[in-house]
Chain A
Amino acid sequence: MKVFVKIIVTVLTGILIGYLGIAAAFLLEATDAVVCNSNSWKTLKGIGSADANALTRAFIAKIGLFANSREEAIYFLAYPGDSGEDMHGDRHYRIISRKPIPAAWWAITLYNDKRFLVANKENRYSFTTFNVVRDKDGRFVIDIAPTRPEGAKNWLPAPKGERMHVILRVYHPAPELYENIADYPLPVVKEVE
């Protein structure tokens, strides 16, 4: 009986260590594979590539549908500031463009904590190359907040009381972007105090 219990404990301990090992591998891979831009966006190396390893594939399969290669599309996740914290729907964030995004088209989309679109009266889920309101100089500002900020030209309604996620999709990016992902001046994402 004692031996039987020890065997069960051995197996369960092995499985537990195995799962912890998988979690650790994900963490190491996620840290190693991330490219940061402007202290605002993160993207994964190797995403959509035939060379992507199993961890990258698993990560992408968990957070979205099949990914494209870098030459076709780049997906950036917003992580404003130094802390690397997730964004929260109770706060007010501002996305401020600096230079035109060199691509066939782009879209900035807001998701709730479950990574689905946020229900709102305006049915406004994203802004794109084609519908964002720009200033005379071609720049744009997108406000993400639970209520429309005064004077906001582009407002994405945030989900109150929960975390949220913002994805910048850039389709057919120009080489100046996909060859320089870390340093190209993409829009900055800032929390508004």
Chain B
Amino acid sequence: MIKRNVVYIAGSLFIALFVIVYGISTMPSRLLKVRNEAYLKMAGGYNVFLHLPRADARWDTFVSPSPDLMYSVLVFNTGEHPIVVEFPPPSRLLGQSDGCGQYGQLCLYRKSNRV
């Protein structure tokens, strides 16, 4: 009887360990997968830049947006061939009259990590 209970307890602990390791190691990629699928849908597919509007109180694309930044997202896939990324200057996205600055940056991320 005691032996059998030890087996059940060990089983529970093994499952707990699996849940912890699997849950933590895959959490970033699972969250990003959900986001990437949403961006792909909004952009219309891979290798298409999605230039988002300036954030305001109606914004619900992602949490903690900066109203002082313009966000562009490109979900790219180099599985079939290399790609060239062309990024328009912010002034062309908004128009010079909107007072946007010259600051801009392009960051690459892989599925779960920053490259």
Contacts and interface: CB of A to CB of B under 8 A. Distances in A.
B68 A21 contact: no
Contacts of B71: 65
A109 B63 CA distance: 12
Contacts of B24: 22, 25, 54-55, 58
A18 B114 contact: no
A63 B63 contact: yes
Contacts of A16: 16
Interface string B80-115: 000000000000000000000101010101001111
A10 B20 contact: no
Nearest to A55: B24
Nearest to A67: B114
Nearest to B64: A64
A117 interface: yes
B53 interface: no
Interface residues of B, number: 41
A104 B114 CA distance: 23
Contacts of A6: 8
B109 A66 contact: yes
Contacts of A116: 57, 59-60, 63, 65
A135 to B, nearest CB: 22
A160 to B, nearest CB: 14
Contacts of A111: 63-64
A50 B66 contact: no
A117 B107 contact: no
B32 A61 contact: yes
B20 A21 contact: yes
Contacts of B109: 66
Contacts of A7: 8, 11
Contacts of B107: 66, 68
B67 A109 contact: yes
A119 B20 contact: no
B23 A22 contact: yes
A58 B19 contact: no
Interface in A1-23: 6-7, 9-11, 13-19, 21-22
